[in-house]
Chain A
Amino acid sequence: MTRFLIRRLLRAVLTILIVVVAAFVALRTTSDPAMVILGPDAPPDALAAFRKAWGLDQPLVIQFASYAWQILHGEFGKSMLDGADVLQKVTARVGVTLEIMVPALILGVVFGVALGTLAALNRGRWLDRLMMFGAVAGFSVPGFVLGLVLVLIFAVNLHWLPSGGNDSWTSALLPVFTLAVGWAAILARFTRSAMIEVLDQPYIRTGSAKGLLWHEVVLRHALPNASIPVVTMVGFMVGGLLAGAVVTESVFSWPGLGQLIVTSVTSRDVSVVQCVLVLVATTMVVSNMLVDLLYTWLDPRMKEAQA
């Protein structure tokens, strides 16, 4: 188990390292931030001064060394665009993004697991077919289409809800619903197949044969076992929370991390883009690793397989 843990940890660190290096090299070599931010008509001495101020005139290796040194001290530098502290800028947006992502994920998990279980218990009947068709439809509809249709109905035609921004709690309703539909659809399918697999196991038959009530069999024996792959899936979703709302945020003009990414990418604010990439990759890697560990904890059979 310790060996597995160490190996998993090493791989996680290596992954983050590769992302940091690749992002740094790619962003520094493909465009000249001085030219983009000051404009092509800027006088040469202004360009030179800008490059000197940001250390862009140094060799790439030196630039990377000082950048890595800063990161290790928790410093992500200042925005090349307005000089604001990058980390503050980014973390402020993270909170705004989580305001819609967390409720959406909770809704998605609750509805997805409930509907998936219901479908599995009614396997092959019309309820199952209807719900699975709904699930496929749910993730076949792109978020921006669903979002815009919701805006068309509830904001443009009915005037019930605002079409965008985050002025009041009502403006969160449409984006939360849009995001939740996709997750619920994925989880419903996932839960259904996990449940069906478990319901086919001999111990379920034993449970009902020895006279347990059916809801006891389902709640005490089937669901806990079926939850293992579902928990894994939810773990991956948690890892993607920060970056998952780029399109949805754009549809509803929600001023979260996704909007920050789009604006800083188009304005070539390299330090912000770098910080976001590192942050997103780190959360993703850490949560993927936690999922792996959670998996072995939930399913002791995995531990034996690795030992």
Chain B
Amino acid sequence: MSADVTLSLPERRRLRLPAMPASIAAASLWILLMVAVALCAHWLQPYTITQMDLSARLQPPVLFGGAWAHPLGTDQLGRDVLSRLIVSIRVSLTLAFCATLLGVAFGALMGLAAAHFRGPVEQVVLVLIDVQAALPFIILALSALAFFGNSWTLLVFLLAFYGWERHARVVRGLAMAANGQGYMMAVRQLGAGPGRLYARHLLPNIAATLVVSATLAFPEVILAASGLSFLGLGIQPPNTSLGNMVGYGRSYLSTAPWVLLAPAVVIVLTTLSISLLGDWLRDQLDTSGR
């Protein structure tokens, strides 16, 4: 009998899939759609993003009296808004994804270093965190982009700096707590080096928290990136991004609001969906941890 009970316990836990509320399901669907669009942008875009049709400038979308040739209308140079939107989704999501990944990796490394070495190393990390917190991202990015020139690499690294200090704080706290726990001590006593200790034993234990932390940071990175593009300091033409489209669409606010509204809706829905999903994941983590 008792064997039965011990066997069924973990099984029940595995089977208890958390019920997903409708809003989270909708959010996940939207995110999947965006990822699919980003991956298949090449095949989806009806026109290239630089293809101009000067005889069809500022055409409204289909539902507002436009033609099916340009479902979301055209911009001031007669370029297809739908095509530019699809490519922008790809560019903006890729940028935000790379930057978030880099930020989490860098933050985790700093947090681990602080928790492992303690002493002076920890103090240096803490001061770096202070410096980062003292310089608002937008100011830092503005100065760096204007003075170092604009490049994709610099943009990714700058955005990676956005929020690394939060990941570092989280990992430092988790690692310090874990270092005091039985399993970490046991593995250390068995003679495992720091590499094995952290990569094989600590990381799997804090991965869930780190994933949530990254998910919550991702929409903020999208917003920061599109804010920079909006100011004209992000992705440079002829390439296009969501913030970029909103930025130049602004000049046609009164005559052709669709140029601006299409990318704006995509930004809002995407950040909203990821935020909702991140919150939900965090709540799941909280209750399962209890």
Contact = CB atoms under 8 A, between A and B. Distances in A.
Q: Is the interface of B mostly helix, strand, loop or mixed?
A: helix
Interface in A261-295: 261-262, 265-266, 268, 273, 276-277, 280-281, 284-285, 288
Given A27-B143, A247-B231, A250-B230, 17 more contacts: A11-B127, A15-B130, A136-B276, A140-B268, A141-B272, A144-B230, A144-B246, A148-B246, A149-B261, A152-B254, A243-B138, A244-B136, A246-B139, A247-B230, A268-B146, A268-B147, A277-B143
Given A15-B130, A18-B127, A265 B230 contact: no
Interface of A: 11-12, 14-16, 18-19, 22-23, 26-27, 30-31, 133, 136-137, 139-145, 148-149, 151-152, 156, 240, 243-244, 246-247, 250-251, 261-262, 265-266, 268, 273, 276-277, 280-281, 284-285, 288
B147 A31 contact: yes
Contact of A247 (B133, B227, B257): B227
Interface in B258-290: 260-261, 264, 267-268, 271-272, 275-276, 279
A16 B133 CA distance: 11
Nearest to A11: B130
Contacts of A261: 139, 142
Contacts of B23: 133
B133 A284 contact: yes
Contacts of A140: 219, 223, 268, 271-272, 275
Contacts, number: 119
B70 to A, nearest CB: 21
Given A142-B267, A262-B231, A281 B135 contact: yes
A26 B147 contact: yes
Nearest to A26: B147
A265 B149 CA distance: 12
Nearest to B254: A156
Interface string B244-262: 0010001001100100110
